[in-house]
Structure 1
Amino acid sequence: MGKRVDDLAKLMRTLLTPKMFELDPSVPPLVFNEIIYEGRDKTNLCIGYYEALDDPSLIATVPSIRRAIRESVSVLKRNGHQVVPFNVPKPKWANELGMKAMAIDDKYNLLRELFAEPLNEHTKWLNIIPRVPHCLKVLVDNLMKLVIGKPAAVTEYLDGARGEKEVLNLISDIEEYRREFQRAMEEAGDLDAIICPVFPFPAFPKSAKSLFVTPAIAYTTLYNTLNYPAGTVSMGHVNRDDVEESKHWPKTIRDLETVFTLRYSNIKS
């Protein structure tokens, strides 16, 4: 929608007008609120932050990502905002719910949208895995846990809900998780926003294996599951210290260092 926050604001100013509401009467007639956007109604916000999804079954963020979060926190504090730690409740469950929801209709819409799409090395699994029988998905996940690590074992989630009863249970579980997340935000300090990573590691080259991409979407599917608005803002670049520190960082997926070897092998001394 836009590369900058200002671009998004201009877009919303254009869309949230009486003329647009006339064209689409199903949209609530709420005009763009300049007072809220400019922060005149509440000058100091209470903002939560987390550096990683804290669960051994999910990929941990690498040093450069954690540093970017800490730098963001420092900037917000200098501008007078209150910034507090926030723990995402049950992140593994949230990831499971989100991936199952993608295939809730027996993968019909997922496969329909991917039909004839020019998928690359990292996304072609989305067209293959949903077609694999359930028993083989379980086998693949068990092999993933042994060979690569727990975060890679997400194949079974794409089975979706098996039958009407499971569909209703999944919908109920998602609603329950949304309530639990909202309670966590209120208990942390009635948060206005959350600063967090959108990926566990920086951008990697096309030659990186898809096993790094697939489990990493847990950081973004969380907000799809919650149905919360979310945006991405660039926050600096990886430096030499980040690369060196990553070599000693505990790896959730055993081959995670390959990402840095591929991505930053051209850094000069």
Structure 2
Amino acid sequence: MSKFSTLHQVNRVIRNLLDFLALLYLLDVLTFYVCSDVLYFFTRMMLHANRWTFLRWIFIVYLCFRVGRFVFYRHRIENRLKNKQKDLLDKHGLLNQKLKMGEVPTLSADEATSMTMPELRSKLRERKLTAIDVIDAYQRKALEIFQRHPGCIAEIVFDSDVYAILADTKLDALKESDSKESYPLLGIPVSVQELFPIRGCDHTMGYTCRTKKAAEDDCALVAALKEAGAIPFVMANVRQKLMGLTSENPIFGRTRHPTHPHRACVSGDAALIAAHGSCLSFGADMFGAGRLTAAFCGLAAFKPTTGRMSQKGLNLPIRFPERLGVVATPIGRTVDDITDAFRALWTSALFKQDTSLAPINFDESQFTRGKTEKLRIGYYHGLEDLLPVSPSVDRVMEQTRHFLESKGHELVEFSLPDAGQAYQLIMSLVNTCIQPESLRLIYREGNGDVLVDYKQRAVHALYALPTLLRKSICHLRADAVESKYPVTALALRAMGCTKSYADLQIECDAYCKLVHEKWNDCELDCLICPVSPIPTPWDYSSFYSINSVLIFTSLYNLLGYPVGTVQVGQVERDDIEQARDAIKPGEDMKTLLMFAQQMDGSEGLPLGVQVVSKPWNDELALGVLKILEQMRA
């Protein structure tokens, strides 16, 4: 052990001892004012107050120092937050000034943003439009969205004009040479979630302590997008609270649902696309966030096989388990939009940026299999003996099954083995990694960073408890709620998990093997299932509602399977009435009450399904999504 490490340990022991003695002194003072004279007498005897009188002033000074230090750092964090928000407003002002000083726009914001991605690409290739005009139009739209829906956009990327000029140069060269080579993203404006570093921009995940630390270089995904000709022009808002369904943080505010303002919106990506502020966006699929935000807003999204999209260059404030890593997930209005994104990226554009990726190009034959071959497709509605689905979700699942059967495919019933155990395993893995990471970020690096709500403080306080005490509290609470809220009980037990990370990884491997064997035994090509048991939930839903949603998406993060979502219907008035009529006394009464509460006022909300395929068969799942997209027509 080095001399520095020894001194560091001694320093830590002394600080802990002083904290302990200070706590004893606080107890002494409290008992003096609160307890009776007898209790005070015995307390003084136990603490040997007469002997320790000379240390009292040391304790007082130390306590004042700790309180003063906390107040000082908290004040500095608040100032840092205000300065960051002021910088954002200044950037918007500069962009507005730039747009006003330019020439009269040849393309209005509404004209540009109302075009579909294929229409925009066609006009760019024919040179009826220039990339710089398109970017100017989208920037004007971004300023308009910032005023109407301030929680969608995190930051504006100022060097997007440079890449628009480069795109125009390449488009001119292609027209002169009469090239037929396809460039699906050339000149197309795209947005990326604030988690993905772009040179010169902060990537904070909503934590104030990460402001004023601009990325020195692009991450591999952004670099590949730029090489493919795409133009990242804005960064979308992100949630600070991982175990939540609302995109909210102290820096950029809260993202509101585009059609139902009091419903949850998991990130700014989908809200931005729904408001016609972007053609295509790239989110992060943590716990299925990319799929959920798309499904809640009636869009399409696809999480590819873990290992087909690069995580190189990501520098998240909180390190995530490698098995549940941050998978870049394209979100678009249609399945064709996200398919074109993969066609552009699964080339040398991405493989050159990250040599650790499997260099597998987009397989067109797999993409069209659903049209040319009869597929064997598994399906399930709810999770057996754990969580059913609401009437609206049950209805669209039945409609989806009948639609695929009408296309000549074979549908067979399937169930995930031990879904409850798998979800507890996911949450255990996450908590084992995030517990030390969050404490480091909030209290060491952040010095008491600003959090969005008191529940986060409570969770971090729970993390700070000794392991055995935390385990006892979580398991006692889980036992108390298990009969009424089984999914909540799973999450609570996971928060009290004491297993090592290595042991959890072994359990994950065993579960993945179990699912893979069952999949092969059933000879499935792909699988359809709900993306959520309920439509878009209310903002700030209960812990039970949140976990009931996350269990349907996070299972495929654990498995590493490619999975996407597309809208196939919407909530109807009959669904709401059925949810109310279904409430009857029994074991599932709390779940049925939750369904009725979440369904109230949900008429018109989009309903989506997930399509899953085996690893490295991403294109097959995309092809089935393309078929299901016809249901909306």
Fold-level similarity (TM above 0.5): yes
The percentage of counterpart residues that share the same residue type is 24
Q: Compute the displacement of 1:186 (Å).
A: 1.6
Distance 2:454 2:437 in 1: 21
User: Relative to 1, partners in 2 of residues 1:225 and 1:131: Cα closer, same or farther, differing over 3 Å?
Assistant: farther
What is the CA RMSD across the aligned residues, in angstroms?
3.0
2:580 paired with 1:252: no
Call closer, same or farther: CA 1:181–1:40 in 2, change over 3 Å: closer
Secondary structure of the corresponding residue to residue 433 of structure 2: coil
**How far apart, CA to CA, are the structure 1 residues paired with 2:598 and 2:558?**
32
Name the amino acid aligned to 1:2.
I
CA 1:49–1:106: 2 relative to 1, 3 Å: same
1:227 is displaced (CA, Å) by: 1.3
| Structure 1 residues 225 and 216: alpha-carbon distance in aligned structure 2, compared to 1, 3 A threshold | same
State the structure with more CA Rg: 2
1:223-250 per-position Cα deviation (integer Å, ceiling 9, x unaligned): 1111111112112112222222223156
What is the CA distance between 1:113 and its match in structure 2? Answer: 7.3
Alignment partner of 1:139 out of 476, 479, 488: 476
Give 1:34 shift: 1.5
Cα–Cα, structure 1 residues 229 and 249, in superposed 2: closer, same or farther, change >3 Å?
Answer: farther
1:222 to partner: Cα distance: 1.1
Pairing partner for 1:67 from 377, 392, 395: 395
Is residue 365 of structure 2 the alignment partner of residue 46 of structure 1?
no
Count of aligned pairs between the two proteins: 260
Q: What amino acid sits opposite 1:66 in the alignment?
A: D
Shift of 1:158: 2.1
Compared CA separation, residues 22 and 13, structure 1 to 2 (3 A): same
User: Separation in 1 of the partners of 2:370 and 2:356?
Assistant: 30
Structure-2 separation of matches of 1:90 and 1:216: 17
More strand by share: 2
Q: SS at the partner of 2:395?
A: helix
Letter of the 2:335 counterpart:
V
CA–CA separation in structure 2 for the residues paired with 1:119 and 1:256: 30
SS at 2:369 equivalent? coil
TM-score (norm: length of structure 2): 0.38
**How far is 1:143 from its partner?**
2.5
Deviation of 1:110 after TM superposition, in Å, equals 5.5
TM-score (normalizing by structure 1): 0.83
Asked whether the equivalents of residues 204 and 259 of structure 1 are also in contact (C-alpha less than 8 Å), the reply is no
Deviations 1:30-69 (A, max 9, x none): 21112221228962211100001102xx322111111111
- Match of 1:2? 331
Over 3 Å counting, the alpha-carbon distance change for 1:242 and 1:11 in structure 2 is same
Q: Equivalent of 1:27, from 349, 357, 360?
A: 357
Give the distance between the partners of 2:462 and 2:395, measured in 1 at CA.
35
Q: Give the letter for the 1:48 counterpart.
A: G
CA contact (8 A) 1:151 1:215 kept: yes
Secondary structure, counterpart of 2:505 in structure 1:
helix
Could you tell me how far apart the structure 2 residues matched to 1:210 and 1:232 are?
24
Structure 2 CA distance, aligned partners of 1:16 and 1:253? 48
8 A Cα contact 2:397 2:529, kept in partner: yes
Q: Residues of 2 paired with 1:125 and 1:74: CA distance?
A: 46
Would the alpha carbon gap of residues 20 and 203 (structure 1) be closer, same or farther in structure 2, given more than 3 Å must change? closer
Cα deviation, residue 194, structure 1: 0.8
Distance in 1 (alpha carbons) for counterparts of 2:457 and 2:340? 36
Give the Cα separation in 1 of the matches to 2:371 and 2:347. Answer: 21
1:177-210 deviations in whole A, cap 9, x for unaligned? 111111111222x111110012111112225433
Alpha carbons of structure 1 residues 224 and 23: separation in structure 2 relative to 1, 3 Å: closer
**Aligned mates of 2:457, 2:530 — CA distance in 1:** 25
Distance 2:461 2:530 in 1: 28
Pair 1:15–1:117, CA change in 2 (3 A): farther
Structure 1 segments unaligned to the other structure (5+ residues)? none
Aligned to 2:516: 182
Q: Does 1:168 align with 2:498?
A: no
Contact 1:121-1:210 within 8 A present in 2 as well: no
Matched residue of 2:377: which SS? strand
Q: Which of 480, 483, 492 is 1:155 aligned to?
A: 492
Contact (CA 8 Å) 1:63, 1:245: kept in 2 or not? yes
Cα distance, 1:212–1:125 mapped onto 2, change above 3 Å: farther
Larger RCO (alpha carbons 8 Å, 6+ apart):
1
The amino acid that maps onto 1:186 is N
Q: Does 1:88 align with 2:416?
A: yes
Partner in structure 1 of residue 367 of structure 2: 37
Shift of 1:168: 3.0
SS of 1:105's equivalent in the other structure is helix
The 1:145/1:74 distance shift into structure 2, 3 A limit, reads: same
Name the structure 1 match of 2:426: 98
Deviation at 1:125, TM superposition (A): 6.9
1:126 Cα deviation after fit? 5.8
User: Hey, what's the Cα distance between the residues in 2 that align with 1:192 and 1:110?
Assistant: 40
Q: Label 1:18 to 1:105 Cα distance change in 2 as closer, same or farther (>3 A).
A: closer
